[in-house]
Amino acid sequence: MRILSGIQPTSKVHLGNYIGAISLWEEELKKHENATGIFFIADYHAITVPHDPKQLKEAIYFILATYLAAGFNPKKHIIFVQSHNPDHTEAAWIIQTQTPIGWLERMTQYKDKRKKLKNEGKSIPTGLLTYPALMAADILLYDTDIVPVGEDQRQHLEYTREIAQRINNTYGNVFKLPTAQIRKFGAKIMDLSNPTKKMSKSASSYKGVIFVTDSNDKIYQKFKRAVTDNINKVQYNPQEQPGISNLIVILSLVTNKPIENIVDEYSHYNYAKFKEIVAQAVISYIEPLRAKIQEYLAHKDMLETSMKEGVTKAREISTPKLTILKRKLGYMTI
């Protein structure tokens, strides 16, 4: 059983990434004791929008340090950097050629990011369109069973299954069909200052984005200024009270308590007091993690050893799979 996922090194990790993705990876590994976790840093995905070469390396170290700080053991699991394994881009080329272009053009993430770039007067990189083919390669090369991700990746996972099926139907069985694992609550943490928008690294302002590197004081301030409503009752009602409902979900996940219990406990609190409770809980959740990340970042040689060992183990799985794919398509493999 293999559980696989990745994060793009586009900037620091935020609470949405942590709750929606990384903490879900931990839960999935706990559920499936004998499973191997394959967690990578999707650095080729990170250049599908304009990027700063000076920051890429630091962002890669940071994500790797976050994986280790989260407790994924690199001896037991496989942790590596996507660009260190050329099998991904090679398989992505083949997968692209098998993908009808309309399948990619209708992707919501593509349409959103395209619109944003257009509004900024920037050109649209072709890689932004073909991005899901690389993601499908990431997943399919490892005969992955489960892919734990946030809600925004659901459509990419559906595409991955469709393209795997199409290739299997055309050339004979090559790929295993993966299953997406998405949280019922917490798969889409909202921006605190704009609770109808997803918390994201690409937000235009970071007023409502909690980064795992934020100081306690900053976290506290961001929660204090979180946008709420005039209803003045702590209850779970995402349509009419998106801000408060988002805070309830966050508190539920960082304290590991069901939503109903949170609502029972805090329904009589005023918003200011409730925000304080949530801020404190998030600080207690992030503080140890932040310290461990800093510790790992102080040992870059160790991070480098771990990424080298990781990619060797990754290639033991991906290279034979790529060979099978190429043979099925009629290539000579030597």
Is residue 113 annotated as part of the catalytic site, yes or no? Answer: yes
246 touches ligand ADP by CB under 6 A: no
139 touches ligand TRP by CB under 6 A: yes
Residues 25 and 7: their CA atoms lie apart, in Å, by 12
Of the listed pieces 14-22, 84-92, 126-134, 270-278, which binds ligand ADP according to CB under 6 A? 14-22
Q: Which residues contact 216 (CB under 8 A, 6 or more apart)?
A: 283, 287
Contact residue for ligand TRP among 6, 9, 20, 37 (CB under 6 A): 6
Is residue 116 annotated as part of the catalytic site, yes or no? Answer: no
Q: Which does 63 bind (CB under 5 to 8 A by kind): ligand ADP, ligand TRP, none?
A: none
Please, what is the minimum distance in Å from the beta carbon of residue 143 to ligand TRP? 14
For the chain, strand residue ranges (E) read 2-7, 36-41, 78-81, 146-148, 179-181, 190-191, 194-198
The amino acid that residue 107 corresponds to is M
Contact residue for ligand ADP among 3, 4, 21, 253 (CB under 6 A): 21
Please, what is the minimum distance in Å from the beta carbon of residue 149 to ligand TRP? 5
Whether the CB-CB separation of 134 and 85 falls below 8 Å is answered with: no
Q: Which residues contact 5 (CB under 8 A, 6 or more apart)?
A: 21, 25, 38, 39, 147, 148, 149
Q: CA 193 from chain center: how many Å?
A: 21
The catalytically annotated residue of 12, 122, 184, 198 is 198
Rounded to 5 degrees, φ, ψ at 6 are -155, 165
**189 or 226: CB nearest ligand ADP:** 189
The amino acid that residue 303 corresponds to is L
Residues 327 and 68: their CA atoms lie apart, in Å, by 37
200 touches ligand ADP by CB under 6 A: yes
**108 or 202: CB nearest ligand ADP:** 202
Residues 81 and 311: their CA atoms lie apart, in Å, by 7
Q: Which residues contact 185 (CB under 8 A, 6 or more apart)?
A: 249, 252, 253, 259
Of the listed pieces 49-57, 69-77, 116-124, 134-142, which binds ligand TRP according to CB under 6 A? 134-142
Query: Where in 78-97 is the site for ligand ADP (CB under 6 A)?
Result: none
Q: Which does 69 bind (CB under 5 to 8 A by kind): ligand ADP, ligand TRP, none?
A: none
Residues 241 and 124: their CA atoms lie apart, in Å, by 36
The pair of three-digit structure tokens given for residue 19, joined into one six-digit string: 């709750």
249 touches ligand ADP by CB under 6 A: no
Residues 135 and 161: their CA atoms lie apart, in Å, by 11
Rounded to a whole number of angstroms, the distance between the first and last alpha carbons of the chain is 30
Q: Which does 20 bind (CB under 5 to 8 A by kind): ligand ADP, ligand TRP, none?
A: ligand ADP
Query: Where in 146-185 is the site for ligand TRP (CB under 6 A)?
Result: 147, 149, 153
Query: Where in 138-167 is the site for ligand ADP (CB under 6 A)?
Result: 149-150, 152-153
Residues that bind ligand ADP (CB under 6 A): 7-8, 10, 16-17, 20-21, 149-150, 152-153, 187-189, 198-202
Hey, which residues are catalytic here?
113, 198, 201
- Rule CB under 6 A: which residues touch ligand TRP? 4-8, 42, 45, 135, 138-139, 147, 149, 153
